């Protein structure tokens, strides 16, 4: 049996961000009339989503690193 990946939570976050982004892409044309505002909305959502994924990934990697350093049998 294979152990679950420690990055499964990050994968779930990424899936949610992508799904909401797709909905936002489909809806933004009806919500905003200005093309520049539409672009700004999608760009800011993309940057915020990317930042969130980077932060979550770094936290998980740091946690794994700490756990490996605390175990005496770690390679």
pLDDT, tens digit only, all 75 positions of the chain? 777 899 999 999 999 999 999 999 999 989 999 999 999 999 999 999 999 999 999 999 999 999 888 877 655
Domain locations along the chain: 33-67
Residue 68's pLDDT is 86
pTM exceeds 0.85, yes or no:
no
Phi, psi of 51, deg, nearest 5: -60, -45
- The residues, ordered by sequence, that sit 6+ positions from 66 with a Cβ below 8 Å of its Cβ are none
Tell me how far apart the alpha carbons of residues 52 and 50 are, in angstroms, rounded to a whole number.
5
């Amino acid at each position: 049996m294979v152990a679950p990946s420690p990055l499964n939570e990050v994968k779930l976050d990424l899936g949610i961000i992508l799904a909401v982004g797709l909905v936002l892409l489909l809806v933004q044309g009806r919500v905003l009339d200005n093309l520049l505002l539409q672009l700004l909305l999608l760009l800011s959502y993309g940057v915020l989503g990317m930042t969130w994924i980077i932060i979550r990934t770094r936290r998980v990697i740091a946690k794994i690193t700490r756990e490996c350093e605390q175990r005496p049998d770690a390679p």
